[in-house]
Structures are given as structure tokens and as C-alpha cells.
Structure 1
Amino acid sequence: MRLYHFSDDPGIVTFVPRAVLVPSQRTPGREWLNGPLVWAIEDDFDFLYHFPRECPRILIWATEATLDSDRATWLGSRRAAAYVERSWMTAISEAVLQRYELPADHFENLGDAGMWVSREVVKPLARVELTDLPSSLASREVELRVVDSLVPLKALWATSLHTSGIRLRNASGW
């Protein structure tokens, strides 16, 4: 397993733990996740971050608990799908991201969609520049689906698919 952090900054020499800019509601006992941490994503789920940082998106994929009917309706034979608003397509097409590989030691698994955190300063092992995000998603078997609004997709959370919403505060009408 490999761990990554995505950024638009090509000059990061060390990752220093920092608190999140917009704290999230956390379940009791997990409030510490809003505190100073270095966040990483494991390679199987890195497609969650093949987007400009502030781009609102909804990503879905099947789990062991996914019903065949939900898989057929929403995914078909695809591994995953990513929904974005049409107004973000230029930014997605023009974005340049840096994928930093991080050492796995000192990271703890959150047990949620490949997310890991470290409370320590982390030095990256390598950096790769990503310039064609739609192709990058396609290579990860993730279908990019463009919609006018993400709001009608709120019902995805009621399916048996894993549904992940990122930066939804930036979605039109959310």
C-alpha cells in the first residue's frame, strides 16, 4: 500500500500537521480529526483527489454490502463514478496537481475510504505532476460524470453504494 497527498503546490519539502480550515461535525471521540494532522490517502482511493482542491464532487463505488440493483443502476461495470458540476469542467481540465508519495510509518488508518493521518511532520518520498485529470480518472477506471447540479444526487446517500462528498459547501445550491 502506498500513501499520497495531493496539492497544487510543487514545492512542499515537509508536511507539517495543521488543523483543518473548516472543521467538520465529528462523532464523539473523533473530534481530534479537526486538529493538527497530516492527511494522506491510500493508493486504492487516490481518485478522490484527482480534482482541484476546492472542486465540489460526489464519488460513488461499490462495497461488499452493495446491492446488485444499486450497482447496475449507478455503476454498471465501472469501478467508480465521480460527479462534478459543469461549471467546474474548465478548472478540472486546466488543473495541475502534485501527487506526493508519503512514507506509511507514523500514519494511522482511519478505516474510512482509504484515509490516513499523522500527528508528526512528514517528508515526502517523491512527487509526480498530474496534468490531465480527466484522463487520470479514466486510467483509474473512474467515470467522470458532468451534471448541472450536485443537489439532485443527495439521494445517493440512501443507496447501498459508498458515497463520498468532498467540498460540497462549494456546490451550487448545496
Structure 2
Amino acid sequence: MYYHFSEDPFITCFHPRPHPSHPSLPPAVWAIDREKSPLYFFPRDCPRIGFGRATTTTPEDVARFMGFSDAAMVIATESAWYPIIKETKLYRYTFPPDTFVRWDDGAGYYLSFETVTPLAVQPLGDLLACLTRENVELRLTPSLKPLHDALLDSTMQFSMIRMRNAQLS
């Protein structure tokens, strides 16, 4: 199964749409796999960076970015978003896998170029508790920019989401 997360609990079908960050792609319905779904336990516009170990990650990068954490994934977001995260009501839509194709294995993204009718919609409840249950370490920082810059030159697997909404300094 694949998932989509929304603050709107009343979506009955998902139509393919252009993606603002990927204008060269045809319109699509975007979904995420289960493993990477914690990246979307956040308000839609919340900037965040998820990262973790990959098979090619060096021990030096694990020490540098993960420290002593044994979390499956670390997700960093900006401190100013914390109260919004606590108050956001989020819903998980479950999609049938039939029409989806893998677009980015590392980020867990799948695309469908057809209209998709969800199989189910469920409230997530407390988003911080959801992250904890998924063995995710949440990091709060005044700005994501230093982490963004450091990860680009690392061997970590990472996904950067809604960075257009991040602080620039």
C-alpha cells in the first residue's frame, strides 16, 4: 500500500496534478511508501529534512549526523513549527498500489498518472506520538540551512521537503 497525508479528511479521489518542484514531470498523484511515511507526519507546508543510514553511508557520516542515535530515521524541522505540529490534525489516505510506479526509491515516492480513489482515510492523532512509534528522532533547530548544506556533501540518505518555506539563515 501507498499513502498520502492531508489536513483535509474529505478527499474522495485524487486527480493527477503538476508538481511545483518538478515542473518537467507530467501531472501525477504522489504517494509515499510505509517506510518513508513518517516524513509526512507534519503540516503540509512545514519544511523538514529526513535522513538516515544507507548502504553507502560512511561510519564518519553516521557519527557526524546520527551521533549516538539508533533511530531508524532522523527528521529535523525548524523550532518555529513546533507549536503548529502539535496542533495539526492530519489524515492518512491509503491507496491501492495498482497504478503506482516507483519514482524515487531513496525517498519512497511513487507516482500514478491516473485518478486514484483511496481505500481508507484515518486520523493520525498526536503527530509527535506517531513519530515516536516509528522510531524516528525529531530534531528542532532554528534553521535547516546548515543541515541542508552539510547533507549535500555527505553519504547519508536524505529527503528535503518544503525547503522553500525554510529560514534562509
TM-score under structure 1 length normalisation: 0.90
1:152 to 146, 150, 157: 146
Paired residues of 1:57 and 1:165 also in contact (CA < 8 A): yes
The aligned runs of 1:27-46 (5 Å cut-off) are: 31-32=24-25, 35-46=26-37
Deviation at 1:69, TM superposition (A): 2.0
Q: In the alignment, which residue of structure 2 is the partner of 1:97?
A: 90
1:61 to 52, 58, 61: 52
Amino acid at match of 1:81: V
Question: Is 2:134 the counterpart of 1:140?
Answer: yes
Question: Is 2:73 the counterpart of 1:73?
Answer: no
Q: In the alignment, which residue of structure 2 is the partner of 1:87?
A: 80
Deviation at 1:64, TM superposition (A): 0.6
> How high is the sequence identity, in percent, across the aligned residues?
40
Aligned length: 165
Q: In the alignment, which residue of structure 1 is the partner of 2:167?
A: 172
Q: Whole-Å Cα distance in 2 between the matches of residues 143 and 111 of structure 1? A: 23
Paired residues of 1:94 and 1:131 also in contact (CA < 8 A): no
Deviation at 1:136, TM superposition (A): 0.7
Q: Whole-Å Cα distance in 2 between the matches of residues 92 and 130 of structure 1? A: 12
Q: Whole-Å Cα distance in 1 between the matches of residues 64 and 6 of structure 2? A: 33
Q: Whole-Å Cα distance in 1 between the matches of residues 138 and 12 of structure 2? A: 32
Regions of 4+ moved over 2 Å: 22-25
Q: Deviations over 1:32-58 (max 9, x none)?
A: 2xx311000010110111100000011
Q: In the alignment, which residue of structure 1 is the partner of 2:12?
A: 13
Gaps spanning 5+ residues in structure 1: where? 26-30
Amino acid at match of 2:12: V
Bigger shift: residues 5-14 or 67-76:
67-76
Secondary structure class of the residue paired with 1:43 = coil
Secondary structure class of the residue paired with 1:144 = strand
Gaps spanning 5+ residues in structure 2: where? none
Instruction: Please tell me the root mean square deviation across aligned C-alpha atoms, in Å.
Output: 1.3
